[in-house]
Amino acid sequence: ARVFSRPSPLLASRALLPAYQHRERLLATVQEHGVSVVRGATGCGKSTQLPQLLLEEAARAGVRCSLIVAQPRRLAATALAERVAAELGDELGGACGYAIRGDAKISRKTSCTFVTTGVLLRRLRSDPELGVFASSKSAADGDLKTAGSQEWMPTYTHVLVDEVHEQTVDTDLLLLALRRLLREQGGRGPKVILLSATADLPALRAYFENCAGTMGVGTCDVPGRAFPVKRMHLEDAVRDAGYTCDARGPWAREMALPTLPTLSRAALSEAAAAEAEAAAAAANNPTVAANLKERARKLRNEAEAASAVRAVGGLGSDWLRALGEAEALKRFGPLVANTLRNMDLGFVNEELVSLLVRRRAMEAKAVGGAVLVFLPGRGEIDSLAEILEQDSSLLVARLHSQLSSAEQKMAFATAPKGKSKVVLATDIAETSVTIPDVTCVIDCGLHRYPLADPSTGVSQLVGARISQAAATQRAGRAGRVRAGESYHLFLSGEAEAMAPAPTPEMQRAPLESTCLRLLAMLSPAADKTVSNETVTGETDETVTDVSAGVTAETVTAGVAAIALTKSVSGYGGEAGLIDGSVTVATTVVTVAALLAEAPHPPPAGAVARAVGALIALGALCKTEGGGEELTAIGRRMAEVPAEPRMAKALVAAHALGCLREVSIIAAAAEAPRGGLFGRGPLATETKQRLDGSSDHLAALRVLALWETDGSPALSRLGIAESAVREVDRAARRLADSVRSACGGQEAPLARNAKVGALVKAALVCGCGRLAMRLEPGKGELCWLAPSGREVRVKPHSSSLLSRTLKLSKSSNASDGGKGKASKGVESSESSWYVCHALLRSADSTRALDATLVSPLALALCGPQDLGFKPTSEAEEAAVLAGRARLEAALGGEPHMQVHLHALRAELSLLLAPIDAPWSGLPAGWVCEEDSAGKTLYRSLEQSGVTSRSKPTESAKSLAQGGERAKGSLARANAEAAENQQQAEARRQAVAEPAPQQSGLGLEAEVAAETVGTASVVAAAAAAAAAAAATAAAKLTAAAESAELKRATLKLTASADAKARTAAAGSVAGGVSKLLAELELGTYAGAFANAGIDDAALREIAEILGEDREEGESAVDELVERVGLKGGSAVKFKRRLLSGGGGGGGGGGRGG
């Protein structure tokens, strides 16, 4: 048993906490029951004291104790772990530690681990039973571990779940999983303890009653220690702050309230129903009946419209409307009454809040204490902070989920002398964590939450009034150190009509990720899977799993072919991805049935929509009994900590060899503070400089430049290095999780792989369902929703699409409606984009970061119902074969792993037009644009070394090769000079008489000269042979590449190929012949002065043959350099671009 040595100040403060004072009752409840529900008022110390009490009791009894405590937020997990470790007198990571996503402070001696709810859910996926069978005797005894000597040992003796009243999706999933775990394990599982300040004890008791075994469910109430808090409302805040709102001011309501008392909107709805009844009764007079029905319809519509704004001030306006002006003046006085009637109650009134904060801060200087302001989101926090930071007497701290852990901790620091601390926070400060010096709370009474559109599934951030329970929690933050006060910025009359508790998140949020995680965690153990390593589509033999006693059906090649056909033709349909294994399910499992067991089951329609989306994504498939099960790729996706679309993109990236790149894109999309670029027009300008076709690739290039050039590159772009480092760390964690899910390190890419094209292919695999068509000349995109309805989408202001669409509209206006593509779309003529998320705003659906793709990419990697029809049998065969290979690779089929290089090469070739010129560069190279806007690759190893073609080896390797070549040439020249000097000396010696020289000596000298010459000749011959072999290898590779390219281009660009071939062959006669043919001989001197010789002309023709657009740019540059003008320039350009002969004729496509 471990003895903890506590610091005396902390021990003294601990003894004052109600949870410690009621320790005997708490421990008895936990000891006597399998499930315990502890309801403790805010400030009672339940979150910090109960874990310590359990550890102490176990130490006294000499029994094992291992606790895991789940918190809804990262900040709560880390802050509570630090506090408990300090109270135990131990360092963080010793007896007490924490484990959150991307960070952990634990060790072998850690007995109490604080985690986020999501981390505990992931542990349940990897260890569904939270325990193992272990031998009752140690290995030192020498006994073998047999089934008879083993006993069950839970991983954790106690599982504590805090803040269960918040009813988040993760909390509800965790309670569902623990309930099933207890039901399956009986009394041998861990004890479950639920903690909350406002929990519904009867409901939780009923939920766990039938699964807690013979020990049942116990409850324990712990009183609070908080000092009294004076709770006030909007009318009190207006009075205390001395605030006035003019009817024409910026914070005034659009429509004034009536002077006389009128029916509230709820009463209007009742009146509408009464009118409808009256209309039905007036059947004898059809005209009167029609009029009454119309009036009833209008009243009902008005009531329904009012219900949409009730959560953001509608209830308060109803109350004031019913009160009337005279009664308001009588109750509140003229100043307050007029202000309340003029104010718009649906927004955060920054003028009122700033006045209130300054008043309370001035009072706090005398008595101490901080002010905590609850705001609905980061936008309001930043806006109010800018106002308050102008006051030098205030120390303003922000607190929301998009801040780093270090930034969040600033809210807990003590203000320096002479300053008052003001904390601007979202509901992250509502529970779990305590800012100890807060004595005044200003509650704006609003919060935001995601709400899924029932028809499209697109999320919308909805602003709403908080619940009564949330208001109570917020007020409790003010009474921790002394008596405090709380201003709730909603009317007292509105408070009575507010919802008693928040709507459970599972009943309003998108459910795709929830369904995927739930199936991965709760798939029944009765399902027996025969691995593809044992059963393939090539055998007719019956396979038996002896250990499980399950006999699989005979699997024939014909059945496998049918499955393959279904998977290819119905990509995103019921068949999903090729699983590669035979599953014999003894239990029909449906997601709807599993979610029906949740504490707050979601609507059936929302579940059906989520299941359909996952089936379309290939993560789920239907079973023969009508249930659902995970496909092979679905099991991988469930292990990746990302939303399902991005999870599939990451799994695809692992197969295609671009995992690092797509991990960076996913991490940048989830980065706090608006990502790497922020939001707004400046973001689009920066992205345009990096990559004009893709928001995602622009983020990827930031990391590439940072890895190559470091901080200077970021400074030139105006991007903070701290944000880049955070994205890099998150990307590495994400890549590690994908490798773990996919079974190891991905195979490296070939040197000539089109990395940008492969990245876009991976994005299409995951986000193809969000493909949008750009209609030329319009500022909107068209998206095909899952329901089959076309939805108009606008790009987010920070997306490159917003700039592209503006240019498209202006170009359309200037060229008479032809809609010529802008320069930003230079890699492809496609009008299709994919984005990773859509967000519903008040007036439209907005696309977040988007990437330009091609129809061929969507046909190969995207959903098949987008309408891309093959134009020939050859194209249909190529697309179907490509899809089959890609799907098999994503599903992890063993026979596909050896073909990954071929698959990547095929996709690189097919999707080369949408590649990014800067992507996949070897180390030491940077991609730039010259003065003409053409792509240029510059070496960082050798000054002045550039290349027009994309390098395939690192700059350092190329430089070393050049040095070796120079060295070899120098040695060869030195050897040749030495041999020449020796030969010259011999000739002089022969010419002069040498009486003492014998014939034998002369023959030896001649022989030596012959040998020296022969060595030089042999070396030259060897070098020539090596050069010939290299040239032959290059010719062979070029021939193979050309053959493959010709086979591919048959599908899409045969006409272009003929034109390019003609253009390349049309300049064989050189400059002089071409000028003579075009009767432009007077320009021969200009060509020579510009350095345009026969070789330069052939190079331009080759560029034109490889890339039409780049070739046109090269021709334009040549015309400009030479100085061709007017008809001569037109004639010359037409001749080169058309590839024809004969004067100035032959009008080809390029003219």
Q: Provide mean pLDDT across the span 46-57.
A: 93
Residue 1147 has a pLDDT of 36
Which residues are CB-neighbours of 530 under 8 A, at least 6 positions away?
543, 545, 550, 552, 581, 582, 583, 584
In the numeric block, the tokens 């484990």 are attached to: 99
Encoded tokens for 26: 């708490």
Neighbours of 586 (CB within 10 A): 11
Per the CB < 8 A criterion, the answer to whether 247 and 342 are in contact is yes
Taking the CA atoms of 135, 137, 141 and 146 in sequence, report the sign of the dihedral they define: negative
Concatenated DSSP letters for 1123-1147? T--HHHHHHHHHHHHH---STT---
Residue 198 has pLDDT above 60, yes or no: yes
Task: Give residue-wise pLDDT tens across range 320-337.
Answer: 888 888 888 888 999 999
The distance from CA 653 to its chain's CA centroid, rounded to whole angstroms, is 14
Residue 734 has a pLDDT of 92
Concatenated DSSP letters for 450-490? EEE-TTT--EEEEEEEPPHHHHHHHHHTT-SSS-EEEEESS
Residue 286 has pLDDT above 70, yes or no: no
Per the CB < 8 A criterion, the answer to whether 93 and 105 are in contact is yes
Q: For strand 131-135 and strand 103-105, is the pairing parallel, antiparallel, or unpaired? A: unpaired
Task: Give residue-wise pLDDT tens across range 1044-1055.
Answer: 444 444 444 443
Residue 879 has a pLDDT of 80
Q: With b meaning 16 or more CB within 10 Å and e meaning fewer, what string describes 138-151?
A: eeeeeeeeeeeeee
Bridge partner list, 294:
none
Neighbours of 1124 (CB within 10 A): 19
User: Between residues 300 and 828, which one has the greater pLDDT?
Assistant: 300
Least confident stretch, 389-393, 410-414, 817-821: 817-821
Residue 589 has pLDDT above 80, yes or no: yes
Confidence class of residue 413 from pLDDT cuts 50, 70 and 90?
confident
User: Between residues 1072 and 759, which one has the greater pLDDT?
Assistant: 759
Q: Measured between alpha carbons, how far is 95 from 106 in angstroms, rounded to an integer?
A: 8
Confidence class of residue 293 from pLDDT cuts 50, 70 and 90?
low
Residue 276 has a pLDDT of 66
Residues in the chain: 1151
Rounded to 5 degrees, φ, ψ at 171 are -65, -45
Task: Give residue-wise pLDDT tens across range 244-272.
Answer: 988 888 888 877 777 766 655 555 555 56
Residue 645 has a pLDDT of 93
Task: Give residue-wise pLDDT tens across range 987-1026.
Answer: 777 666 544 444 444 444 434 444 444 444 444 445 544 5
Per the CB < 8 A criterion, the answer to whether 767 and 653 are in contact is no
Task: Give residue-wise pLDDT tens across range 117-142.
Answer: 999 998 888 887 776 555 444 333 33
Most confident of 166-175, 280-289, 966-975: 166-175
Most confident of 149-153, 599-603, 961-965, 1128-1132: 599-603
Encoded tokens for 835: 């984005």
Residue 371 has pLDDT above 90, yes or no: yes
Task: Give residue-wise pLDDT tens across range 225-248.
Answer: 778 899 999 999 999 999 998 888
Residue 30 has a pLDDT of 93
Encoded tokens for 580: 């590669």
Most confident of 729-738, 888-897, 1000-1009, 1098-1107: 729-738
Rounded to 5 degrees, φ, ψ at 746 are -80, 150
Residue 58 has a pLDDT of 92
Residue 524 has pLDDT above 90, yes or no: no
Least confident stretch, 406-410, 499-503, 570-574, 1050-1054: 570-574
Least confident stretch, 229-233, 275-279, 430-434: 275-279
Confidence class of residue 920 from pLDDT cuts 50, 70 and 90?
confident
The distance from CA 133 to its chain's CA centroid, rounded to whole angstroms, is 39
Q: Measured between alpha carbons, how far is 74 from 409 in angstroms, rounded to an integer?
A: 12
Confidence class of residue 842 from pLDDT cuts 50, 70 and 90?
low
First to last CA, the chain: 89
Encoded tokens for 31: 């000891």
Report the mean per-residue pLDDT for the chain.
75
Q: With b meaning 16 or more CB within 10 Å and e meaning fewer, what string describes 993-1015?
A: eeeeeeeeeeeeeeeebeeeeee
pLDDT > 70: what percent of the chain?
72
Residue 378 has pLDDT above 90, yes or no: no
Task: Give residue-wise pLDDT tens across range 1099-1117.
Answer: 787 777 666 666 777 788 7
User: Between residues 548 and 360, which one has the greater pLDDT?
Assistant: 360
Residue 548 has a pLDDT of 30
Which residues are CB-neighbours of 129 under 8 A, at least 6 positions away?
181, 184, 185, 189
Q: Measured between alpha carbons, how far is 407 from 397 in angstroms, rounded to an integer?
A: 9
Helix boundaries (H) for 768-822: 800-814
Residue 161 has a pLDDT of 96
Q: Provide mean pLDDT across the span 873-885.
A: 78
Q: Provide mean pLDDT across the span 391-398.
A: 90
Residue 237 has a pLDDT of 93
**C-alpha separations of 309 from 63, 268, 318, 492 in Å:** 57, 15, 11, 18
**C-alpha separations of 896 from 561, 655, 766, 888, 902 in Å:** 16, 10, 20, 6, 10
pTM given for the model: 0.70
Taking the CA atoms of 120, 124, 127 and 133 in sequence, report the sign of the dihedral they define: positive
Please name the helix (run of DSSP H) or strand (run of DSSP E) that holds residue 111, with its range, or none: none
Confidence class of residue 811 from pLDDT cuts 50, 70 and 90?
low
